[in-house]
Structure 1
C-alpha cells in the first residue's frame, strides 16, 4: 500500500499501465494489486477532474451534520471531485473536510461554499 500511495501522491492517480510494474516490483500478481486498488476508496485509476474534496462520514462528523454537508458538497461541487471518506482524524472539529490535502474543521454549508469559491469558483 505505501507504494500505491506514493504513486498516487506523485501522479494524482494510479494508472492502469503501472499496475504490472508495481506487481512485478512487489512480487505480486496484477490481480492482487488491482484488488487493492479497487477495494480501497482512496485510490483512483483516473486523474481527478478538478480539486479533490474529501468529506468525513465517520461517527463524530455524522453526529453534527456531516451527512447534510456531504449532500451539499455533492450538489454544489460540480467542478470538484467529492469523495466521502471514513475519518479524517478531526473528530474534535467535526464536521470536517479536506480540500486538496488541507484539512478544515467545524465546516458548514456556508463555509464550504466560501471555501470552494476560494479555490477558483469550484461551485
Structure 2
C-alpha cells in the first residue's frame, strides 16, 4: 500500500497557516484537526500525513483519531450538513419516517451528498435533545420536534402538494 499523497501547494499553505500558533505536541492534534475540518470541510489523507509529521506521530495514530471521532470526515461533503438523530428516543417519536422524508426530498440516501453539492444527509446517534425528538442538526444548530414540513422549511426546500405536518 502506498503512502498518502503529500499536500499540494495550496493545501500545504493552508495547513501551515492552521498550525502556525500550535505547539508541536500531541495534545494539539485535536485542535489542529478541528481547524482543518472547519476550513477545508474534511481531513484529507494528505492533511493526515502532514499532521503525523508535524506532531511526530505515526500516520496510523492520526488516522485513528480522525476515524474515531464522528465529526471528522475524510472526504468532502455537501455545503450544508444535515444530521438526523436516529437514536432510540428520536426513533420512538418518528425519526425513521422523518429520515425517509429527508431522503426523498433531497434525493439521496443517508450518508450521501446531493449531486449539486448543496446538502449532505447523515444519521447520527444522539444530538442530546432527546426530550424534543425527532431532532435534526442543520450546520451547527440543533432543532427539535422536527416534522416533515418543518424539515423542508429548515432547509428552505420548495413545498410539495402533500400536506405539511
TM-score, structure 1 length as denominator?
0.82
Matches within 5 A, 1:73-88: 73-78=102-107, 79=114, 80-88=119-127
Q: Deviations over 1:49-97 (max 9, x none)?
A: 2311000111211110112212221221243210111111111211100
- What's the Cα RMSD here? 1.9
**Count of residue pairs the alignment pairs up:** 119
4+ residue runs of structure 1 moved beyond 6 angstroms? none
**Counterparts of 2:100 and 2:89 in 1: how far apart (Å)?**
17
- Given the alignment of the two structures, is residue 31 of structure 1 paired with residue 60 of structure 2, yes or no? yes
Could you list the runs of 5+ residues in structure 2 that have no partner in the other structure? 1-29, 108-113, 159-165
For 1:117, the equivalent position in structure 2 comes to: 156
More helix by share: 1
- Partner SS state of residue 98, structure 1: strand
- Partner SS state of residue 23, structure 1: helix
For 1:95, the equivalent position in structure 2 comes to: 134
Which of the pair has more CA radius of gyration? 2
With 52-61 and 9-18 compared, the bigger mean Cα shift is at 9-18
Q: State the Cα distance separating 1:46 from its structure 2 match.
A: 2.0
Could you list the runs of 5+ residues in structure 1 that have no partner in the other structure? none
**Counterparts of 1:88 and 1:27 in 2: how far apart (Å)?**
34
For 1:67, the equivalent position in structure 2 comes to: 96
- Given the alignment of the two structures, is residue 6 of structure 1 paired with residue 52 of structure 2, yes or no? no
